Structure 1
């Protein structure tokens, strides 16, 4: 049995809420018995129950509490219930229970907590926004620094490559005009002045 990633709900007095519950069996089901119970001052009060004969069959659910509707769909392994017009007395723990005879009678359960409030609290998110902005700004600054650094290194590498080309070209010109180093250059006579 599974009641989802968040096994609790805070709801406003007078609203309608869904209490989620799903089941899973890798070997399939046969006469899966399930029930919902409410912990009322330490005593478990049955909310609803039924037996699902096989996969894909909608169960005939018996409901024992006012303002409760079964909304599960067996083909989706869903055995959720809906509570209508909730009151403060509806707050507490609800247990989704199931036993599959195909699993040698192994039973499973999941607890869902319902909190009923007069009105939902408005959460001040200023601190969260400030922290997120600072972290985002720091990451953006770091990325900007890395981009500038990489661009600078790229430009310096290109300039160094260009300087090497200039040195090779200029040394080639010197060797052509003056002869190769270590070779004897032809001496040209100095022009005479008249």
Structure 2
């Protein structure tokens, strides 16, 4: 007896190219998740007063760890990249020996926190601009990544005018208070109307009973006595 399978189709990957592309995509996704990443934080800029001291933040991350991680900081001087500092981190937990090529710069990163931040002392207007934090990890076949941080140097920090914000907040608060007052008044009005309607119904029932009594209807005191029968 021959059994026929109806509506069941074998799973096919299609052409070899399709299968290869699928496998490549999976492997590339896993590799991308392990790639080196440099980060300067959620806010990649800083506005500081001339003559102050600032920290330019940068951290690195790698899912598979590091080995002889090379990093540097560079400053974009009107299109020319000038190296600020550089070093190699042999492995996790090893403090790097950092070479610094610019005045008023200190390395303040701590390797056990994956931190390679630098500090700029007594900044001037010439220090303002774009700084790039770069890293390359040989353990990931020299996978590299960079992050950009902007330093803005000003005479004095700007005072934020909150007048518009306060006006908007006051308008929104007043609108909410007005809406709440309207809802309370509406509920109170509906409550009073319900009570008046209930009272009117009681008055109608009472008035109906009085009318029946005055008209001598059945069940009232004005019911006439039955006529006596003649003998």
TM-score normalised by length of structure 1: 0.74
SS of the residue corresponding to residue 40 of structure 2 reads coil
What is the CA–CA distance in structure 1 between the aligned matches of 2:79 and 2:170, rounded to whole Å?
47
Q: Aligned in 2, Cα 1:107/1:148: closer, same or farther, shift over 3 Å?
A: farther
What is the CA–CA distance in structure 2 between the aligned matches of 1:104 and 1:148, rounded to whole Å?
72
What is the CA–CA distance in structure 2 between the aligned matches of 1:44 and 1:13, rounded to whole Å?
23
Q: Give per-residue Cα distances to partners, 1:1-41, cap 9 Å, x unaligned.
A: 11112111111110001111111112222211111001112
Partner of 1:88: 125
Partner of 1:58: 95
Q: Aligned in 2, Cα 1:46/1:133: closer, same or farther, shift over 3 Å?
A: same
What is the CA–CA distance in structure 2 between the aligned matches of 1:149 and 1:53, rounded to whole Å?
74
Partner of 1:76: 113
Structure 1 gap ranges (5+): 171-184
Q: Give per-residue Cα distances to partners, 1:49-98, cap 9 Å, x unaligned.
A: 11112222221111111111111111211111110000111111100001
SS of the residue corresponding to residue 75 of structure 1 reads helix
Q: Aligned in 2, Cα 1:141/1:77: closer, same or farther, shift over 3 Å?
A: farther
SS of the residue corresponding to residue 11 of structure 1 reads strand
**Structure with larger RCO (C-alpha < 8 A, sep 6+):** 1
Q: How many residues align?
A: 177
Q: Give per-residue Cα distances to partners, 1:155-191, cap 9 Å, x unaligned.
A: 58x969x99xx9xxx9xxxxxxxxxxxxxx9x9x79x
SS of the residue corresponding to residue 116 of structure 2 reads coil
The root-mean-square deviation of aligned C-alpha atoms, in Å, is 3.1
Structure 2 gap ranges (5+): 1-37, 206-218, 227-231
| TM-aligned CA deviation for residue 150 of structure 1 | 6.2
Whether 1:23 aligns to 2:60 is yes
| TM-aligned CA deviation for residue 141 of structure 1 | 3.4
TM-score normalised by length of structure 2: 0.63
Larger radius of gyration: 2
| TM-aligned CA deviation for residue 146 of structure 1 | 4.6
